[in-house]
Structure 1
Amino acid sequence: MKALTLDRVSKAFGDNLVVQDVSLRVEPGELFTLLGPSGCGKTTLLRMVAGFYYPTRGRILFGDRDLTTVPPHRRGVGMVFQNYALFPHMTVFENVAFGLRLRRVPRDELARRVRRALAQVQLEGYEGRRIDQLSGGQQQRVALARALVIQPDLLLLDEPLSNLDAKLREDTRSEIRRLQLSAGITTLYVTHDQAEAMAMSDRIAVLNQGRVLQVGTPEAIYHRPASRFVAGFIGKSNLVDATVVQRRADGAVQVRAGDVLLWCEAGRSNPGVPVDEGRIVTLCIRPEAFQPAAAGAANVLRGRVLVAEYAGSHTRYRLEAGGLEWLVDLPAGSGAAVRPGGELEVAVAPAQIFIVEAAGAQAGGAPAA
């Protein structure tokens, strides 16, 4: 297996620079996700790897091979498009076999490989069906089988689940991950859905406005976001501007957020963020970091419940405390069920507060993201 390397890749369409100086390495056998909002450049990056666009600057390497200007059909790449791009006038068998016929694979081997690919995606017996006789999930699996059947060295997936309903999307993403792991194919995956990226990926690159803001495992990006944008884009967060009050000899930092004093554990800040007294910083506190306040707990918030949303495994509260609003998730059975208008007392451990970045010139509360 080979690694995919993007070396300072940029792409401009006229005067519009949509990808800016991106350098990434996708390890052999890894499922690597490009994650970001619409228009951030992630699909353009994927299409450059596929060969549909050539970079304005930079190189694309797969192993030792320079793919930068190699035509798409010579790259050994399988691709699944957002709209699946299936041929409606062909049967399932003919759709899956299409790439093999272009490669002039002998008939017996072609049939064997098509049957194997359909078995991989659990569509045995569907060979003679027309595309319009299939559900959205089945069409997605045909598109995946068509990509897998050519035995690609590299698999590219461009938002392949975006047209599916929520339940089918969850089931299908698990199936794609299972197939990718069993085949051991180096895979580049594009999505704007952070839950999808977190569930499937070995590593994630978060993009915005054509630039890579952070690369890391889902756990690292979730718990140690590199910027306010990343913290807000990945999951729900309380993003709060606070003023540094003091810094102890052991590195622990006390901050004031609204009218609340909070302690942050030593080392719970991004490298390079100044935490001198008087500095204004942005805190990231995940809603699930809160717990019902026990006697003697640190970092206690007492406030009025504005909204309570039951979600089965937990209840999400919007809490007004210390002059700010906070998102708080408390697990079911915690004994803390409170209706809107009621009082709630919660606490957050110092180790669960992360200083993301230096904030603006004025301290104050930012809305929960």
Structure 2
Amino acid sequence: MSAESTPEHDIPHPGDPRGTGPRRRRPRARRRKALLVAAWSAAGIVVLGGTGAGVLYFKLNGNLTSVDINRVLGTDRPGKADNGSENILVLGSDTRSGGNEELGGGTDDGTARSDTAMIVHVHQGHRKASVVSIPRDTLVDRPACTDTDGGRHPAADEVMFNSAYATGGAACAVKTVESVSGLRMDHYLEVDFSGFRTLVDDLGGVDVTTTEDIEDPDSHLDLPAGTHTLDGKEALGLVRTRHGVGDGSDLGRIQLQQAFVRALADRVEDIGLLGNPKKLYDIADTATKTVTTDSDLGSVNSLMSFASGLKGIGASNMNMVTMPVRYDPADANRVLVAQDKARRVWDALKDDRPIPRSVTEGTAAGGAGDVVATS
């Protein structure tokens, strides 16, 4: 069994264990596009709905899976914002059940972990958004929580962030994020790796340029420096790898994921997705099978309405950062929340203000920001 197989001992190897060496300043956040899965689904529904394709509409509706997080969490949570903004927790899960067994990582018993976590804050007016990635290896105090099956899970101190999802699924992940940030998550979106791979294949692959060789047997990835058109399996390897890039931490992997999102957005634009109803339907069909949502988004109508409200948000008004962290001086394989700077992030989102650029200066970054270059 590889180190990737054990939820609480998934160990990266930062090049600067104690966090005392020279810091590599994080590149200035570039403009990016997010919520592609929801947008694809809604766009497919809009186009098909215009043709009166009712049967296809009901098929897409039947694809969706939802969880009633509001019922499980009850009222003991942050209040809703009163300024017109919304927060969405977006998770990528790495279960090895179903179609994911041969993708590497995950757990052998079919349970899942949150391999990718982002808080998407949609600002008032829904014209711009801020996205905060949460490193999975961050040590946090996990609150007591109840899962969607009614199982109760006690609180735990100084455990990896992704243990919340592994312990109690979506509801416990939301509870933990709300505890860490003090922000209410208005919606929840989850995509699994098997669906991600199929989405990339449906698009005909995605072009990326690597500035150095990337080789990681754990992620089944072997890319020499240069330009590549990645199929779904290779793209999945890229967004999951960390041992072959930067300091070997999850922070480097987050930087690769953000670079791939840019390349993915370019691909969607290049193929003229909205002008190809057949391809658009194939992608919407895959996307609705792939995502799990909160119950408020658990129908095609709801998802379409939600995504339509985001149509004004494009690459030019999207800002992505990583939650400010520092390497744990007691454990080279973990990171700690840089509390003062993180609080400035959460305060900005709570007040619906842009995230200050200074909050990421001098924090752990991962050293993989320039490994993948996109247009």
TM-score bracket for the superposition, by shorter chain length: under 0.3
**Higher relative contact order by CA 8 Å / sep ≥ 6: 1 or 2?**
2
TM-score, structure 1 normalization = 0.22
- When Rg is computed on C-alpha atoms for both structures, the one with the higher figure is 1
Higher strand share: 1
TM-score, structure 2 normalization = 0.22
Higher helix share: 2
